[in-house]
Structure 1
Amino acid sequence: MAKRELPKHVYRQRNGIYFQRRGWPSQKFQSEFGTPEFWREYAGILSQKDKPRRVVSRNFGALIDDYRKSPRYKNLKPRTGLDYDKHLDFFHEIMGEANPAKMQRKDVIRLRDSNAEKAYFANYSLRVLRVLMEHCVDLGWRDSNPARGVPELKTEKKEREPWPRELLDAYRASCELGTRERLVMELCVGTGQRIGDVLNMRWSNIEDGAVWLRQSKTSKELWVPILPELQTALDAASRHSVFILTNERGTNRWSYRGTSAAVRKVRKRIGALDYDIHSWRYNAACELLEAGCSDDLIASVTGQSPAMVQHYTKKVRQRIRAVQAQNLRKDKVGNE
């Protein structure tokens, strides 16, 4: 389509048709050119000429602000949104005034490699930047996504393991009943749920000696009976909010960032930095396996798929089966 066929201030970009005029915000047309719907959109934009317009500076700060208002961001799962926020804030801090239209592939690689000593952070930043720059393309600020196709850093993945019993005991000894640090641990270990679902738990979720919840990631509804250690921690907790775990003011739920920082202080104090919050979910699955539960019974508590139950318990499962195998072997040899 030649430019002269388009009406004034309308331009075709690689990913669609945009209204672009100096002093006006860039807008992407939702309808195909030439249709009645297109001309209604065009007339609607022009009808706003007497209304005050905000000129948007095309920098990363404005891009991040616009992305956070978009369905692409608002439809993220709560935990994913929290993870994205850490990296969006990082981008805002280091290049908030820079023009995203000028970012090149070499700049993306340089940004990735500047955090090479923190490979997980570098790779997650790359994923978020890829999404952010796709939003930049959708706004019509540039034609292509410079982060697309940039490979992540290769890392040697360290598999999580459940907390050893002695470190769980040390954690309990370090955090008195009544503290949030103790309560979050008992909730994670006792219910076997993800930290995001634990932080969303309300006192109204407790009924008939159990916690009921809908998992945010899978939408599964679970009813999990409360174990004695968790009940003791709940009995000692303050109930000044609808949420079981609250912020310091008691006005809202405890944030993931605040929880992670508080738990990390305890982990550092007791020498447990190799084990994190998510490892407590491994503890729940492995304790259920050691108690003789089938995979189906384990899943009834954790809400995991059969494959994830196997993954979370594979090391403990191997040890249990190895003991069984060697005992059978020993009995056979003893009877010969």
Structure 2
Amino acid sequence: MAKRELPKHIYRQRNGLYFQRRGWPSQKLVTEFGTPEFWKEYSDILSGNEAPKRVTSRNFSSLISQYRKSPRYKNLKPRTALDYDKYLDFFEKIMGTANPSNMKRKDAIRLRDANAQKPYFANYSVRVLRILMEHCVDLGWRETNPVKGVPELKIQKTEREPWPLELLLAYRVVCAHGTRERLVMELCLGTGQRIGDVLEMRWSDIQDGAVFVRQNKTDKELWVPILPELQATLDAASRHSIFILTNERGTNRWSYRGASAAVRKVRDQIGALAYDIHSWRYNAACELVEAGCSDDLVAAVTGQSPAMVLHYTKKVRQRIRAQQAQQKRTERSNN
């Protein structure tokens, strides 16, 4: 395709067609040339409906601003977007005026290694930077993504464990009915849901003796019957907001940071720092297996995939099977 066949300001590059005009940011077109969709996209760019505002310089501040306006960012789950924001703000603070076109692979590695004492932060920063630089490529600011293929730091992962029964009892002793700390625990444990979904629960989600859940991460819809212990906690809770778990003023839902900090205080008090909020989801899955539930019954409550059900319950399964195996040995010996 010759340039003369393309409309004004449209140029072909190795990875597609780009809108390029002096004083405007380069922008990759996503539609096929010559189609009605292409001409609409081209018209929207020229009219300003599609393209970001003109920029006078290419720097990380501008790149981050444009990324946040893109479908790539807007289609993120709310919790994921919040996580990304922390790293985008970090990038803007340390290199906002730098030109992303000049970034090299060694720069990404240097950034990773500078935060090696915080491996989770270091690795997550590499992931977000990789996505941001891919958007830089899509804008036509550079040809390749220098962060692609940069390895993450190896982390010695600790297997998460469900809360031991004695610590659950200690938690209930310290946190009486009517407290938010007790309510968040019973909701997580009783429904088997992620903390993010629990914090989004509303009183109107309680239907026919169950909690209706639309999982934020998977979009699955679940109807989870309420256990007696959870019902007793719900009966003792105040209902001055549409959300079941609210902030201190009762004006909005309880934030993840607030809930995590409050639960951590209790964990510290009872000696349960090795077990966190997410471990309650492990408790729910393990209790279902111990009750004799099949994997599909466990998933009906937790909404997990078969692989995740196995992952969450592998240790309790081993104990159950070992008990069954040893019982068979005993029965054989007696015979």
- Which TM bucket (shorter chain)? 0.7 to 0.9
CA 175–69 in structure 1, closer or farther in 2 if over 3 Å, else same = farther
* TM superposition shift of 1:112: 1.4
- Counterpart residue number, 2:82: 82
**C-alpha distance in 2 between matches for 1:9 and 1:122:** 40
- Counterpart residue number, 1:16: 16
**C-alpha distance in 2 between matches for 1:313 and 1:39:** 54
**C-alpha distance in 1 between matches for 2:82 and 2:113:** 23
* TM superposition shift of 1:333: 2.4
CA 97–271 in structure 1, closer or farther in 2 if over 3 Å, else same = farther
**C-alpha distance in 2 between matches for 1:270 and 1:122:** 31
* TM superposition shift of 1:33: 6.4
Q: Report if aligned partners of 1:24, 1:54 keep a CA contact under 8 Å in 2.
A: yes
**C-alpha distance in 2 between matches for 1:329 and 1:45:** 75
CA 41–332 in structure 1, closer or farther in 2 if over 3 Å, else same = closer
CA 20–228 in structure 1, closer or farther in 2 if over 3 Å, else same = same
User: Which is further off, 294-303 or 99-108?
Assistant: 294-303
Q: Report if aligned partners of 1:56, 1:62 keep a CA contact under 8 Å in 2.
A: no
**C-alpha distance in 1 between matches for 2:331 and 2:160:** 35
CA 142–249 in structure 1, closer or farther in 2 if over 3 Å, else same = farther
Between the two proteins, the alignment pairs up a number of residues equal to 331
* TM superposition shift of 1:157: 2.5
| TM-score when normalising by structure 1 | 0.86
- Counterpart residue number, 1:146: 146
CA 212–4 in structure 1, closer or farther in 2 if over 3 Å, else same = closer
Unaligned runs of 5+ in 1: none
- Counterpart residue number, 2:188: 188
**C-alpha distance in 2 between matches for 1:227 and 1:109:** 50
CA 192–16 in structure 1, closer or farther in 2 if over 3 Å, else same = same
Letter aligned with residue 27 of structure 2: Q
Q: Secondary structure at the match of 2:111?
A: helix
Letter aligned with residue 324 of structure 1: Q
CA shift digits 1:198-232 (9 cap, x unpaired): 12211111122211222233333222111122112
CA shift digits 1:58-96 (9 cap, x unpaired): 322222222222111122223322332332233233333
Q: Secondary structure at the match of 2:18?
A: strand
- Counterpart residue number, 1:288: 288
Unaligned runs of 5+ in 2: none
**C-alpha distance in 1 between matches for 2:32 and 2:96:** 34
After superposition, residues 13-162 of structure 1 pair within 5 angstroms as 13-30=13-30, 54-55=54-55, 57-162=57-162
- Counterpart residue number, 2:238: 238
* TM superposition shift of 1:4: 8.6
* TM superposition shift of 1:318: 0.9
* TM superposition shift of 1:111: 1.2
Letter aligned with residue 280 of structure 2: W
Q: Secondary structure at the match of 1:222?
A: strand
- Counterpart residue number, 1:272: 272
- Counterpart residue number, 2:227: 227
Q: What RMSD, in angstroms, separates the aligned Cα atoms of the two structures?
A: 2.9
- Counterpart residue number, 2:330: 330
CA 36–68 in structure 1, closer or farther in 2 if over 3 Å, else same = closer
Q: Secondary structure at the match of 2:196?
A: helix
* TM superposition shift of 1:46: 5.7
Q: Report if aligned partners of 1:61, 1:97 keep a CA contact under 8 Å in 2.
A: yes
Letter aligned with residue 266 of structure 1: V
Q: Secondary structure at the match of 1:211?
A: strand
Letter aligned with residue 230 of structure 2: L
* TM superposition shift of 1:263: 2.6
Q: Report if aligned partners of 1:78, 1:196 keep a CA contact under 8 Å in 2.
A: no
Q: Secondary structure at the match of 2:212?
A: strand
Q: Secondary structure at the match of 2:223?
A: strand
| TM-score when normalising by structure 2 | 0.86
CA 104–264 in structure 1, closer or farther in 2 if over 3 Å, else same = farther
> Among the aligned pairs, what percent are the same residue?
79
CA 334–91 in structure 1, closer or farther in 2 if over 3 Å, else same = same
* TM superposition shift of 1:171: 2.4
Q: Secondary structure at the match of 1:107?
A: helix
Q: Report if aligned partners of 2:55, 2:62 keep a CA contact under 8 Å in 1.
A: no
Letter aligned with residue 72 of structure 2: R
After superposition, residues 241-260 of structure 1 pair within 5 angstroms as 241-260=241-260
